[in-house]
Amino acid sequence: MENYFDIEEPEKGFSIKKLFKWIGILIIIAIDLTIFIRCVTTRDDKIVSKILKDDTYIEAYKSDPENFKVLQYGMERSWVAVEEGRLIEFNYLYHIETAKELQFSVKYNKSIAHRGENGEDPFVFRLIDDKNNVYDDYFFERKTKGDYCYMRMCFKDIELTYGSDDDRKTYTLYIDKFNGSEYKEYCSYKIYNGSKVSKEITKNIEP
């Protein structure tokens, strides 16, 4: 006596089972795509770690390239809280000793700062050392990405010591915000705390 087995015919055309299968696949793709887009748009712009190279930098490098160094220092609690729970963040603190330049990045949400009617910058910056000397000679590059503005700052004529490696300065960054008619102090942050700990940056330091 022969045995016969029931063989299911493959489903052809449209079916509820196939519909749910494709809906599930599309949901997975949509979730992955959303995560990818979020990662790309929230990643900090490359400008945050850029080395700014003005004439002073280039001249210092060319005069003694073998001893030219860009040193990166750590930062304490690299943010300050401002209005409405927003943060201003700081990162990538570089000092170029032979050029006497201090470079760092500032990141803030665009919603906290707007230009004045006559084109005034939202913020102005100054450094004050531990002996109350004021440094306001700086330049910057600025980029926007998503909801954030990134500024790469370079302050000039900045030395980290008083002549001895054991006698170090500290620097506090003060940010003044334009309120429509004048600049008022907005927040402050100790940008350099006198630390000796650093690491040398070796990539892309050539002019």
CATH number for the domain running over 46-201: 2.60.40
47 contacts 143 by C-beta, under 8 angstroms: yes
Question: What whole-number distance in Å separates Cα of residue 58 and Cα of residue 51?
Answer: 12
Q: Average pLDDT of 164-182? A: 95
pTM of the model: 0.79
Residues facing residue 148 across a β-bridge: 109, 145
pLDDT digits (tens, 9 = 90+) for 86-115: 899 999 999 999 999 999 999 999 999 888
Is pLDDT of 194 > 90? yes
187 contacts 88 by C-beta, under 8 angstroms: yes
User: Binning pLDDT at 50, 70 and 90, where does residue 41 land?
Assistant: very low
Would you give the distance in Å from CA 77 to the centre of its chain?
14
Neighbours of 154 (CB within 10 A): 23
Query: What is the average pLDDT score of the chain?
Result: 87
Domain limits of the chain? 13-43, 46-201
